[in-house]
Structure 1
């Protein structure tokens, strides 16, 4: 019965709430997170009353750092385990909510919505990705910014490391990466002292044109496209990241 339930879960529902996800990614670069946030603040100059949403906030590293800079921040994520870590830093101006990014809407609440560190493209259908964009647009105030930090699909495909083994806390992680026309896959085989598990990350291969297409008709205007956390211009041939910045120009029905 329990195995049957697990099979019905989407990969991100299962994997992100696994203890092995936290172990594998425990050393994510906090300095890198600070670098991006600092440069975004310097570029877009939010005022002290600006309200932020960290959409798919995970452990809350971006949200917490933003809050320490004096801003009001909400964090939303589907993973209870990640949110339990994030909530250790909760205060009156930093709150976290367990929500599906496809469903979360707070009409005209936010000056900035951030979707960082490749937290987009997890869904099977274009319609689900579109729901995220549409609800984010609804949640933005007029002249608010929706900033998406995604990988550069061309560079990911070009530099893919197909096989890799990591040993963390005596747990063996065998990582196999591949891609097709639509998705990039990361199969993670885990051996924890003889107990074996397999998870697969699956993220849609989106490019700049894909995001522009998703934004059509939603009163979002493409403002900037950056290629790294220093906010250098995006170049499809050599940029590590694709950082898309949309601005909400008016409301829509």
Structure 2
């Protein structure tokens, strides 16, 4: 059971424990990836970028330091509160549901590090893609950086114990009904906690079907953060450039 009577991502992403568990994510790799993206897309100098599902804003901050005008949006009020400490004249953060179009158009829209595929209903995936298309200006490009489902399932680590800041997280991963699950259990603040992450195991052909329905043109596909060739069996990522 989720601890909150709401969608798993709205409850789990809005806890402080989420940020504890993932505090050691690779910043250097993430920054190198973002550099590769803006160079490949040739985002104009001082261009505008929407960081969709920005979390606590680490990529938005880096993009802004590169000289871009950045808007970071996320469904989690806690994440946006954390990110807002970095705001300036060309960097802003807002709570926003990515299923709905943001009321502005951009030179680029980034949806990074598997921030898609959370929804229970297929219609919400399509709504999100249509919203992204609406958020692009005439010369803009969008990026979805998703997991490569085949690679992840083939290399799934079922059970893992990870200690971070004195909290012992017990992780259990499995596949069910087309979703990749991660059960997260831990004890903190004198009580037991249980959250579940679930991401739909979408493959390239699923995205191609969505893109066709949303009248979106898929322009390029990559399989890693260095923008290497995508291989269904060996690539860790499914990175798609479209407009």
User: How far, CA to CA, are the matches of 2:35 and 2:167 in structure 1?
Assistant: 35
**Could you state the TM-score of these two structures normalised by the residue count of structure 2?**
0.96
CA-atom RMSD in angstroms:
1.6
Equivalences, count: 243
3-state SS of 2:217 partner: strand
**Residues 51 and 109, structure 2, Cα contact 8 Å, conserved in 1:** yes
| Residue correspondence of structure 1 range 42-53 to structure 2 within 5 A | 42-53=39-50
User: How far, CA to CA, are the matches of 2:195 and 2:98 in structure 1?
Assistant: 21
Q: Which runs of 5+ in 2 are unaligned?
A: none
Among candidates 13, 24, 29, match of residue 27 of structure 1: 24
Q: Which residue of 1 aligns with 2:121?
A: 125
Among candidates 68, 73, 88, match of residue 70 of structure 2: 73
* Residue 169 of structure 1, CA deviation: 2.1
Per-residue CA deviation, residues 39-62 of structure 1 (Å, 9 max, x unaligned), is: 112212111142100000001111
Q: Which residue of 2 aligns with 1:142?
A: 138
| Residue correspondence of structure 1 range 63-212 to structure 2 within 5 A | 63-107=60-104, 109-192=105-188, 194-212=190-208
**Residues 170 and 193, structure 1, Cα contact 8 Å, conserved in 2:** no
Q: Which residue of 2 aligns with 1:8?
A: 5
User: How far, CA to CA, are the matches of 1:243 and 1:150 in structure 2?
Assistant: 6
**Residues 126 and 214, structure 2, Cα contact 8 Å, conserved in 1:** no
User: How far, CA to CA, are the matches of 1:218 and 1:188 in structure 2?
Assistant: 35
**Residues 170 and 192, structure 1, Cα contact 8 Å, conserved in 2:** no
Runs of 4+ in 1 over 4 A off after TM superposition: none
Alpha carbons of 1:8 and 1:194: their partners in 2 closer, same or farther (altered >3 Å)?
Answer: closer
